[in-house]
Structure 1
Amino acid sequence: MAKQTLILTLWLLTGSLFTEATYYRHHRYIPHFFRYREPSTNTENLLPDVANPAPEVSQSGVPTYLEVFDPAPEVVHTIPEAFYPVPEVVHPAPETHHQTQMLQPGPEVPSPDRNRESRVFYGIMFDAGSTGTRIHIYKFIQKDPVELPVLDNEMFHAVKPGLSEYKDNPEEGGNTIRQLLKIAKKTVPEEEWGRTPVVLKATAGLRLLPVEKANALLKEVQEVFEESSFFVPENSVSIMNGANEGVLAWVTVNFLTGHLYSNTRRTVGILDLGGGSTQITFLPKSKKTIEVAPPKFSAKFNLFNKTYELYTHSYLGNGLVAARLATLGALGADGLDWKVFTSSCLPKKYREDVKFGGDSYKVSGIPGGYAGYKLCYYEVLRVVKGNFHQPYEVKGSSVFYAFSHYFDRAVQTGLVSSLGGVVEVRDFKKKAKEVCNKMTKYRAISPFLCMDMTYITCLLKEGFGFKDSTVLHLAKKVNNVETSWALGATFDFFRNFNIHQD
């Protein structure tokens, strides 16, 4: 199989929609791999040849929005023929200390028309999180019918607030999706709209809502999709299972970093800290890690003709914003109209109304009291202690990629640059102390910075049980691709991984 090449450039686009950035990425890499039967030739990064499951439909005919892990019968989605075979994303050349993996040859493909021109097609994935909604528009190129498509580029845009803020006004929530679809229509050529699937997966923000309110929002999104000119597959709108979120983020990061191709099966773990939930996922080196873990703390799936069993768990209600409210004693509290929730983690003179999940909370520092790292740590510790399972081998020398709010807060405090960087767990503690003891200096950035950095420190050490020396790669992007579950979810949509929990 001939060498694949993929060019990398990055455009920064600005949009008038809300306050987030839109960016466009185009990349070309020159990886070197070897076929399983022919060590002297190159091969592709093949995704598993597994059919997509049939979407669930309720008795009433309304799509079922909640995902399940149990493998469904192998029934192919009614995706236009243009999407077969499954797209391939060519990852960058592995780091020098990683060995190249021999891969099995890909599935058989009908004889090609050698004179056929390269074909382009697209996929659209919405990430509906607790603090914002993001759209990922992927462009794929089929250069040769006998070879799998490659990821050519990605357009990304994010808006705030998240869908959960519209729990009492689903129509307005639907309007945010319409605005993002306008970007999609500017990105995807009109002649491709009818063949481009559009999918939305919601995360912790909607998981925390009452079922009827969450489903009302998802039904509204479904209607917005139906009125668009894009291809709307069955079950295109759903709430993602938390463990799927961790697994698909792990697939994305390890695929892009080349770790899935190491002969030693060396991979990196992932830590994702959203607004409403947080995930930890890694490939254990010891069977004992899975054996002594609580039920539903592992997931199996097939990838590159291998079965992976990951340690993974999503902690609902322990995302950064939810943890703020829990620290304040406000999460699940009543009397929000008159109660004021105070904390020594906040500047003494701070007093504001804070919104989360469609509710408003009166929040304040302690004017005549004390503030600082030690007092803040004790407050946060009550939220973390005893609520997390510490994996058997997490105190070892594992390497983790940490993103979302881990990355955001590290950049805001100057722990790393906007390009990311490598730190140790102890560096978060050191920076948290600095921020908490100089709240006035950092208040302009965020009055919650002390609480957030202290929570991250406590979560890593007291929650997950990491050592001070554990290495964390803080990144928003890996090789200029967003470090989220969206790319992994797009792969899964085209060719199901058969993820299921044990």
Structure 2
Amino acid sequence: MGIQMKALILGAAMAAIACTTIIALILSLANHQSLDQPYSTQYGIVFDAGSTHTALFLYQWLGNKENNTGIVSQKQSCDVDGDGISSYVENPPAAGESLKKCLDVAKAVIPEGQRKATPVYLGATAGMRLLRLQNQSQADSILVEVTKTIQSYPFDFRGARILSGMEEGAYGCITINYLLERFIKHTFEGLWIHPKAGTILGALDLGGASTQISFIPKDPVRVPDSAFNLQLYGYKYELYTHSYLCYGKDQALRKLQAYLHKTAGSTQFISHPCYHKGYILNVTMADLYNSPCVVKPNNFIPTAILTFSGTGNSSLCLSLMENIVNLTNCALSPDCGLDGAYQPPVNGEFFAFSAYFYTFDFLGLAPKAPLTRVVSTIETHCNKNWTTLTAENPTIKAKYLQDYCASAHYIMTILLKGYKFNDTWDQISFEKQVGDTDIGWTLGYMLNLTNMIPSEHSRAVTGVLHSQWAAQIFFIVFALFLSLLIIGILFVHDPKH
């Protein structure tokens, strides 16, 4: 081959290599696209250790956040067998043992690789608040035992503590408004936005040992101790919230029994207008007065048996409720609630849950009913005799059936005469769930805690389209081929060879 031809071929090959290299370089740098990988699912567990029972709630959310707060949903719930943990004063280790069934349920749901990163919280409410008033060391012993049990599981245990009544009320309010998308809303375009015209709903919670009311009043809260400030999804809110210890359903009905006993004189046979005619209940003095919510009488004999006999007198039952609900002695009148506590006028819509819902649901009054129908339904129910009532409700246990009349009148007393819903009754909805999620303080508590749980870093990856990648590889391979070709030509036609 002539020298000129050889030089021509080499020049052409070098030019082709340069071109393909430049094309490959352009393809490798141009038109890159970013793709967000899905965030991992994070989990959190909250135990609601109430006065009458304990429940586990398992929540989940994606690792990213919206304005520092997670978008949380309920994954699973589990009812713990037995009574509330405050009932285990004689055997604190059994309080811990009772949690194992539900911890096993949560363990089975959470992927093994994420268990150690799953935070677990236990919040005890009014039952333990009462026990702490009675015996601090017993309350501490129970918390120690439940802590031991939870720590034996492969989770990130963050503590067991007794919530304040204000926390319980405020977190319940947070739960309702989160579920109803009053804090944040998911748009059709897939974005999370703050609703412009969203009004915050109030919360009414009736437990066994305490009751809570929470809402945003029209005017600023006048008493700082009743204000609960929170920040969610980048916005700040000021709630009015108040918790009434000893005003829960069970403790209120206990106070009614104690009142009837003390006003009956020396007899141990006591008429009870809130119990249905024909119903009889025997209670020892030790059981009746085993609570700081009632004061023991001078003639207290622990083993003495008191017999309550139902008379089915609805109107008398209602009037007696004012003897156990303190509706006077308010220094800030007319801004008063129960027991002389400050309360601004109720404002907006409310969700009533827990015992509010269960009582009104049994009476067929949930989620809403006109006030006149509510009053007549309660009257009709309370005036039924026990034989008729049990025949109509054969599947309901007597310990629940006996109290619906008294519970209903108690609810009407605190809602109408205590919180003053007389003119805004139609603003109350009696609810148990929103969608598939239970209403209660635990979800609000978890939402607040996600502010303190670090979010994941962005998991975006950068790349190119498949066709662009294929072209890039072709030109790189072609450039390598030409390079090898040149080397081959030089080697074959080298005069030394």
Band of TM-score, shorter chain: 0.5 to 0.7
Please name the residue that 1:314 is paired with.
243
Contact 2:261–2:270 (Cα < 8 Å) also in 1 = no
Structure 2 CA distance for partners of 1:252 and 1:278, relative to 1, 3 Å: same
Contact 1:272–1:404 (Cα < 8 Å) also in 2 = yes
Which of 141, 149, 153 is the aligned partner of 1:228? Answer: 153
Cα distance, 1:349 vs. partner? 3.1
Task: Find out whether 1:136 has 2:57 as its counterpart.
Answer: yes
Task: Find out whether 1:432 has 2:384 as its counterpart.
Answer: no
Please name the residue that 1:378 is paired with.
319
**Relative contact order, higher structure (CA 8 A, sep 6+):** 2
Please name the residue that 2:181 is paired with.
258
Contact 1:204–1:277 (Cα < 8 Å) also in 2 = yes
Name the CA distance, whole Å, in 1 between partners of 2:66 and 2:362: 47
Contact 1:202–1:240 (Cα < 8 Å) also in 2 = yes
Structure 2 CA distance for partners of 1:381 and 1:496, relative to 1, 3 Å: farther
Task: Find out whether 1:244 has 2:244 as its counterpart.
Answer: no
Structure 2 CA distance for partners of 1:184 and 1:342, relative to 1, 3 Å: farther
Contact 1:346–1:364 (Cα < 8 Å) also in 2 = no
Cα distance, 1:230 vs. partner? 1.1
Task: Find out whether 1:477 has 2:433 as its counterpart.
Answer: yes
Structure 2 CA distance for partners of 1:427 and 1:489, relative to 1, 3 Å: farther
How big is the alpha-carbon RMSD for the aligned residues of Structure 1 and Structure 2? 3.2
Task: Find out whether 1:205 has 2:127 as its counterpart.
Answer: yes
CA displacement 1:126-185 (0-9 Å, x = unmatched): 000011101001122347999986435420112341111112211111111122211111
Please name the residue that 1:442 is paired with.
389
Please name the residue that 2:459 is paired with.
none
Which of 159, 178, 193 is the aligned partner of 2:100? Answer: 178
SS in 2 for 1:208: helix
CA displacement 1:204-259 (0-9 Å, x = unmatched): 010011221111111101111111111113xx100001001111111111111122
Kindly provide the amino acid, as one letter, of the partner of residue 437 in structure 2: V
Structure 2 CA distance for partners of 1:147 and 1:343, relative to 1, 3 Å: closer
Which of 449, 452, 462 is the aligned partner of 1:493? Answer: 449
Structure 2 CA distance for partners of 1:327 and 1:436, relative to 1, 3 Å: same
Cα distance, 1:113 vs. partner? 8.6
TM-score by length of 2: 0.67
Structure 2 CA distance for partners of 1:315 and 1:147, relative to 1, 3 Å: closer
Name the CA distance, whole Å, in 2 between partners of 1:198 and 1:487: 13
Kindly provide the amino acid, as one letter, of the partner of residue 200 in structure 2: T
| Unaligned 5+ runs, structure 2 | 1-32, 184-193, 292-301, 328-338, 454-497
Kindly provide the amino acid, as one letter, of the partner of residue 413 in structure 1: L
Structure 2 CA distance for partners of 1:482 and 1:146, relative to 1, 3 Å: closer
Name the CA distance, whole Å, in 2 between partners of 1:341 and 1:238: 40
Task: Find out whether 1:408 has 2:354 as its counterpart.
Answer: no
Structure 2 CA distance for partners of 1:211 and 1:285, relative to 1, 3 Å: same
Q: How does 1:8-157 map to 2 (within 5 A)?
A: 114=35, 116-142=37-63, 150-151=71-72, 153-157=74-78
Contact 1:322–1:331 (Cα < 8 Å) also in 2 = no
Cα distance, 1:114 vs. partner? 4.1
SS in 2 for 1:195: coil
TM-score by length of 1: 0.67
Name the CA distance, whole Å, in 2 between partners of 1:204 and 1:302: 25
Name the CA distance, whole Å, in 1 between partners of 2:68 and 2:234: 17
CA displacement 1:253-285 (0-9 Å, x = unmatched): 111112234434521111000001000000011
Please name the residue that 2:16 is paired with.
none
Name the CA distance, whole Å, in 1 between partners of 2:196 and 2:361: 34
Please name the residue that 1:6 is paired with.
none
Kindly provide the amino acid, as one letter, of the partner of residue 479 in structure 1: G
Which of 290, 299, 304 is the aligned partner of 2:228? Answer: 299
Kindly provide the amino acid, as one letter, of the partner of residue 119 in structure 2: P
Cα distance, 1:364 vs. partner? 4.4
Name the CA distance, whole Å, in 2 between partners of 1:169 and 1:271: 33
Which of 258, 263, 285 is the aligned partner of 1:329? Answer: 258
Structure 2 CA distance for partners of 1:392 and 1:205, relative to 1, 3 Å: same
Please name the residue that 1:161 is paired with.
83
Cα distance, 1:340 vs. partner? 6.7
Name the CA distance, whole Å, in 2 between partners of 1:357 and 1:137: 37
SS in 2 for 1:465: coil
Structure 2 CA distance for partners of 1:309 and 1:325, relative to 1, 3 Å: same
> Which moves more between the two structures, 426-435 or 210-219?
426-435
Contact 2:57–2:76 (Cα < 8 Å) also in 1 = yes
Name the CA distance, whole Å, in 1 between partners of 2:108 and 2:288: 32
Please name the residue that 2:279 is paired with.
350
CA displacement 1:310-329 (0-9 Å, x = unmatched): 11100001001111101111
Structure 2 CA distance for partners of 1:226 and 1:120, relative to 1, 3 Å: same
Kindly provide the amino acid, as one letter, of the partner of residue 137 in structure 2: E
Name the CA distance, whole Å, in 2 between partners of 1:183 and 1:168: 27
Cα distance, 1:424 vs. partner? 4.7
Please name the residue that 1:284 is paired with.
217
Cα distance, 1:198 vs. partner? 1.0
CA displacement 1:322-347 (0-9 Å, x = unmatched): 111011117999xxxx9676521112
> Which moves more between the two structures, 208-217 or 460-469?
460-469
Q: Which has the larger radius of gyration?
A: 2
